[in-house]
Structure 1
């Protein structure tokens, strides 16, 4: 085993030990009382802080924020281990098996494939995995549990084959929104317009979430 591999193994083992120390009976009271549900908001916050660090492209900050996110994963793993459900080892084994299973073109030495063929293969393998779940997925499982903009983008990429609504129709919706005095009607129209914007982004090969986030950053800079 190389020295760098040994250092990595020791470091990850030490992080796991630190989490268990914090969660021990004589550890930190705050860490002791946490549950998977109470940790969810911190997991989301840390993920978004990683995105923010990447946007600002400061390696020191990116490294630090990735560490915070990694800690949340180790923390959750310890919570579920205490509940007797699975361990950190099981998480690692699960993702390794999934990566190998979903990349047969790499690990099974298959002929070279185009990017589109790889995407189709990925979806086919995922569909097979769903059939072998120990528990059936809930009806809403196909809608990604992401912020709505990201979820819409992901859903459209998988399912939407309908053409974009004509521009005059969207203009009519926009004009109707401007004069609407009914909140429910306004929410419905605005929802359609937001989906339309995501469809436009997909048509142009633009990541809608990144696009909106960049506009927010630019707007924030211009108002300071």
Structure 2
């Protein structure tokens, strides 16, 4: 797994080994577990890039050139919260994964009824600044049309957000499918795999 090693080396923020010389044994054990989990995490990031490159080629999309191990962009915290750290990092690292996600998003059809339904169910998001300053209750019968951004002005943004969400779900579905049957070398298992000794499951 040369690519995993290169990725770990390029993105490593670990302290130098001699800086760990005098830490307690328990801390050393935890550090070793963390290092093993980091390798498994990095394996997934590299794997997603490779699978995305293959899928782009199969779809006739322009496959980006090989990604540099150091091509690790800043991962927005919001993406980590929405996508999970592995997928968020893979999208930051891999042009092929980003191209595939964009393609999947563009393929999503959002019915007009879904856009209108979102607008009607989330009235609090479309109060005008003046209504917000007055403390208007968006779900009160006293709230009038003038208190809300008109649907015609909100529609484009809603459709874009719904298409992005649908594209992300499609990306997750693609990833679940293409990862099925992947065999990992010992020490490179998925970090959430409950069969390995360092498995930790947190929500």
TM-score by length of 2: 0.27
Q: Specify which structure has the higher proportion of helix.
A: 1
Higher relative contact order structure (alpha carbons within 8 Å, sequence separation ≥ 6):
2
